[in-house]
């Protein structure tokens, strides 16, 4: 029987990739900080309106410690991600994001005491390797180009920082969910995240604020925001049901979905071998993890 966390994680990965693809289109001709902000802003009513009707769990110091430790890191990751996309080609940045599952072999053990099986660990490694190869091999510099770019491309270094930050915030999020509930965590975390990034995004996009409605920024950001909200809900439920390393590794299938979008929407070519490597990793985690 397939565990519930697996389809929830696939749902999260699919809607994350969909949101990213739509955001890529929305970024054309629009301020990247405002687009990132508008992708999060519509989550406020989606999570705040149900809050009075939720059963408020008894939360203690651990919940607040995790929340307020993760929020500044999450905000930093969002802006580093934007900067990475702006400064360097996707072929030099996205492969580095697939390194998050590797870091999650260590971080959850240190912060949560989570242990994974040898087969599960092998599955995580395969997903990370496949996710890296999906994009890395497209660059003229070869498979090692993203790693070599760390010394020359600021965008690549930014994405490496994002991968490291996500390994910590995912683990802290799991602790906060365990100390409360998935929906209560999302209803607190996302609005607070918007509150933190709003001043920075509004300052960086101040020249375009008055033109958002006229130049199509608002319209272009609406659908990416909806997809992002759906992936958040699926994420917080899935990560509460299994090891952080397993869930985030499987969620990196968003890179695979991204390749599919690239092929059919942007006429890019994907890698069949890398896809098979990732699927083999998923099979190991689900069957023997």
pLDDT in tens, 122-148: 877 787 777 677 666 555 566 666 666
Q: Which residue has the higher pLDDT, 36 or 113?
A: 36
Alpha carbon distances (Å) from 178 to 66, 88, 246: 11, 37, 17
* Total-model pTM: 0.79
- Work out the average pLDDT over 89-99: 70
Task: Answer yes or no: are the C-beta atoms of 174 and 62 closer than 8 Å.
Answer: no
Q: What is the DSSP letter of 242?
A: S
pLDDT value of residue 96 = 74
Query: What is the overall mean pLDDT for the chain?
Result: 79
pLDDT tens-place string over residues 174-183 = 899 989 988 8
Give 85: exposed, middle or buried? Use CB within 10 Å, 0-12, 13-18, 19+.
buried
Residue 266 has pLDDT above 60, yes or no: no
- At which residue do the structure tokens 């003229």 appear? 140
Q: Where are the domains of the chain?
A: 5-288
pLDDT value of residue 109 = 73
CA distance 236 to 232: 6
């Amino acid at each position: 029987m397939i565990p519930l966390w697996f389809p929830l994680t696939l749902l999260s990965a699919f809607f994350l990739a969909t949101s990213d693809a739509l955001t890529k289109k929305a970024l054309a001709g629009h301020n990247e900080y405002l687009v990132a902000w508008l992708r999060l802003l519509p989550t406020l009513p989606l999570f705040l309106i149900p809050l009075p009707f939720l059963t408020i769990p008894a939360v203690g110091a651990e919940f607040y410690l995790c929340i307020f430790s993760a929020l500044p890191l999450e905000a930093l990751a969002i802006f580093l991600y934007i900067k990475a996309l702006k400064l360097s080609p996707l072929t030099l940045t996205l492969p580095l994001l697939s390194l998050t599952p590797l870091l999650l072999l260590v971080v959850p053990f240190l912060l949560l005491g989570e242990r994974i099986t040898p087969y599960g660990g092998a599955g995580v490694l395969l997903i990370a390797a496949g996710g890296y190869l999906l994009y890395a091999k497209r660059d003229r510099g070869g498979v090692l180009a993203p790693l070599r770019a760390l010394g020359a491309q600021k965008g690549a270094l930014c994405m490496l920082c994002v991968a490291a930050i996500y390994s910590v915030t995912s683990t802290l999020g799991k602790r906060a969910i365990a100390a409360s509930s998935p929906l209560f965590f999302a209803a607190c975390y996302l609005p607070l995240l918007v509150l933190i990034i709003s001043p920075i995004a509004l300052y960086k996009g101040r020249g375009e604020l008055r033109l958002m409605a006229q130049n199509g920024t608002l319209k272009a950001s609406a659908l990416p925001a909806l997809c992002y909200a759906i992936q958040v809900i699926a994420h917080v439920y899935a990560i509460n049901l299994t090891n952080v390393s397993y869930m985030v590794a499987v969620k990196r299938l968003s890179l695979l979905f991204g390749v599919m979008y690239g092929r059919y929407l942007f006429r890019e070519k994907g890698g069949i071998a890398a896809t098979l490597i990732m699927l083999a990793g998923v099979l190991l985690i689900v069957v023997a993890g």
